[in-house]
Amino acid sequence: MTDLVALLMPPDLGGMAVAAMVGVSFIASLVTVAFGIGGGGLLLAVLAVLMPPAALIPVHGVVQVGSNLGRAVVFVRHTAWSAMPWFVVGSIVGVTAGGSVVINLPPWAVQVGVGGFIVWTVLACPPRWLSHWPLLTGVISSFLTMFFGATGLFVASYSKSLKLARHAFVATHATLMCTQHLLKTLVFGLLGFAFAPWAGLIAAMIAAGLLGTLTGRLVLNRMTDARFNRALDLVLLLISARLIWSGLAERFWP
């Protein structure tokens, strides 16, 4: 038992922090399945408080690979596979460019920009290039994920523009995000990030995320497409508002 606890305790983290991160991983997956989006951003926000900054984006990325893979497998028969090929090509370009950029983008600018874009896509008609140019969506979102981490909101705008039913939206979005986070994780590994000390915690969070996915599916099955789309829009607007506020606060009231 002591060895198991030690395995789940990465450097500079206490037992309460580990328990909180595993618990939030469960909640984040439940939220993502039930409402279509939001779990990745929620998880990132909690990890940012509890985890060393240098490990935040790489560890979050690998956990998101596992969580999204679980959702993709559970809902695989609903996946719109036609959305994948050019998005994957764009994601490869994006993570490669992001990994090679020396100058870090100001976090506040990314938050405000992504938040504002999502508000626009919810309140207005989604721009046509989101559905017609998955290559460009993949490039931009994958580049940003190297700095910002949770770009599920951006990719959700592309998924939403495809006008999918609720189960197909969850399946397709999970497949897209799993691919993007996997590519990001590979790049961080090539850049020298040591994942081994975090392996136990990552495994526990992925397992908790799978339980959250199965629980969230029960909620999703009770929703209609209309209710799901309204809930999705509300979650997108709330998280976008938080992104914009956090970015402006960091810029003007540090």
User: At 21, is the secondary structure helix, strand, or coil?
Assistant: helix
For the stretch 218-252, what's the b/e string if a residue is b when 16 or more beta carbons lie within 10 angstroms of its beta carbon? eebeebeeeebbebbbebbeebbeebbebbeeeee
Which pLDDT does position 207 carry in this prediction?
Answer: 93
Helices 53-74 & 134-148 angle (0-180, nearest 10): 140
Q: How would you write the pLDDT of the chain (254 residues) with one tens digit per residue?
A: 445 555 566 766 777 888 889 998 998 888 888 776 777 777 877 787 788 777 878 888 899 899 889 889 988 999 989 888 989 999 999 888 877 664 466 767 767 877 787 777 677 766 666 667 888 888 888 887 776 666 777 788 788 778 888 889 889 998 998 999 999 889 888 888 888 888 888 999 999 999 998 888 888 888 777 777 777 778 778 877 887 888 898 888 86
Which pLDDT does position 220 carry in this prediction?
Answer: 80
Which pLDDT does position 131 carry in this prediction?
Answer: 65
Which pLDDT does position 123 carry in this prediction?
Answer: 79
Which pLDDT does position 78 carry in this prediction?
Answer: 92
Between CA 251 and CA 246 the distance in angstroms is 9
Domains in the chain: boundaries: 2-252
Which pLDDT does position 254 carry in this prediction?
Answer: 67
